[in-house]
Each structure stands twice: as structure tokens, then as C-alpha cells.
Amino acid sequence: MTTLTLPETVQSNQAGGKILIVDDDQRLGDALMLYLKRTGYNVAIAYDGVQGLEAFQTFRPDLVLLDVMMPRLNGWDTARRLREMSYVPIIMLTARGQENDRVTGLKLGADDYVAKPFSLRELEARIEAVLRRARLAEMARSGPLYQDGYLTIDASGWDVTREGQPVDLTATERKLLFLLVENTGSVLSADTILEKVWGKEYADRPEYVKLYIWRLRQKLEVDPTAPRYIVTERGRGYRFVPAEGAQMRR
């Protein structure tokens, strides 16, 4: 069982938002709920994956804090179910810190991964960063950004379609895609992408870039194993390659 000590002073989060905690460790869950409420969030809690899915339907959170090791329905399966219903941001919480567990969580669609034990202030910073990306993805922008006969990226609402069908992207996936498209013709290093998409505090997470590039290719490319849009420049980074005759906003 994890024990956390609440900081004596807590800075209120002016933006707020609704957070759902799904964790079978009641002491940890209650401590997280108290801390996040004190920082200005509206918080609900569930103590296993089944309860978490039920609470998600009624509470409609802006972000889910999801433990991995839980009874009835573990965090991996809960994340899969959530991704079938929504692209709400997910931060995985787990005592496991191995690299393969982070990879699993990110491939399932999680936006971040925090290993226990963790600092409440660090978790709050991660929550703010993920919510900030989600809010940026919802901001309206003017004019079509990219269009060819296969792929359309509509900047008016950050909408993406593939052969006329909407592509479901998480907020982080959208921000990464738009960063690449807006820098068409330039190679962006993994460090640059980490800073622009996730923030400077993620400088030690290069695997995030690789995994999110993989996820975008799975959703956008005709053949993800031979990408034509999101190309790897070995040893340098990644760049977006427009199709011949494509229309782009400059």
C-alpha cells in the first residue's frame, strides 16, 4: 500500500477540470483526491476497472488517472475499453517502472506514464501538461492546413480524415501531427518534438516520440511499414512529406 504526504502548501489550479482516479489502493486514491481537490480540480474515484468504466460514463472526466494492477479489470484492459469509447487523456499509474510497461501503456493510447512512488507535485505537473495539450487540440484555427486525394488535415477544428473518413486521434497525436505538418520541409529532432509537444520536463522520455510516430503511422499511412507521409531521417529525426499535388496552407 502506498502512503503519500500532502504538501503543506498547495497552489490552486485556476484552469481546473474533471479528473477520474481509478486505483484499488484506497489510501493512495483518497490522498490523490484530497490533493487534487485542493488544487482546484473536480475529482471522482473508483477502486477497480469495472467501477472506473461505470464512473467514466456518468462523470465524463477531462482526464483519467489509471492504475495498472487492479482486481476484476486491470489497467491495460480498462485503457483498451476507454479508448473504444473516448480519446480522453489517460495517465497510467503503477508500481512497475520497467521500460516494457511504459511501452505497453503508450501503445494502448495512454498519454503519459508515472511510476510509483511519485511526488504529488510531479503528478500535478504531468496532469497540467496533458490537459494543456488536450485544450490546445480543441482550439479552432482558420483554413485547411493540408489536403490531397487521400489525407485531409482541416485546421478549422484540428479534424483529420483519411479517404473521407474521420480519424480518431488523441490530443497528443494531433499536436504531434500538426507540428510535423506545419514544419513541412524541415527535419524535427526527437528532442525538438519532445519539447514542443510534451514540454521540457519530458527531456528524458525519447521513447514517447518513437511510439507516437508509430501510432500516427498506424492511423494515417496506407502501409505503416513503408510510410509516405511521416518519414524517418535516420540519426536526425522525422519530417512530413506531402503527396505530389497536395494543397497546403502557408
Alpha carbon distance 72, 82 (integer Å): 16
Tally of domains in the chain: 2
CATH code, domain carrying 160: 1.10.10.10
Q: Containing domain of residue 29, as a range?
A: 18-137
- Same domain assignment for residues 86 and 30: yes
- Same domain assignment for residues 100 and 152: no
> According to the model, what pLDDT value does residue 30 have?
93
Q: What is the DSSP letter of 39?
A: T
- Same domain assignment for residues 46 and 89: yes
Domain-located, residue 124: yes
Domain-located, residue 2: no
Last residue of a domain, one of 137, 163, 197: 137
Backbone angles phi, psi at 102, to 5 degrees: -65, -40
CA atoms within 13 A on the CB side of 63: 28
> According to the model, what pLDDT value does residue 157 have?
66
> According to the model, what pLDDT value does residue 75 have?
92
Last residue of a domain, one of 75, 103, 137: 137
Cα 219 to Cα 168, 173, 211: the distances in Å are 8, 10, 13
pLDDT by residue for the chain (250 residues), tens digit each?
444 544 444 444 445 799 999 999 999 999 999 999 999 999 999 999 999 999 999 999 999 999 998 988 999 999 999 988 888 899 998 876 666 777 788 888 888 888 888 889 989 999 998 888 777 655 545 556 888 989 998 876 678 999 989 998 888 898 899 899 988 989 999 999 998 898 887 888 888 999 999 999 999 999 999 999 999 999 999 999 999 888 876 5
Alpha carbon distance 190, 206 (integer Å): 7
Please name the amino acid found at residue 122. Answer: E
Please name the amino acid found at residue 43. Answer: V
Count Cβ neighbours within 10 Å for each residue of 49-78 and write b for 16 or more, e otherwise.
bbbbbebbeebebbbbbbbbebeebbbbeb
Domain-located, residue 102: yes
- Same domain assignment for residues 185 and 208: yes
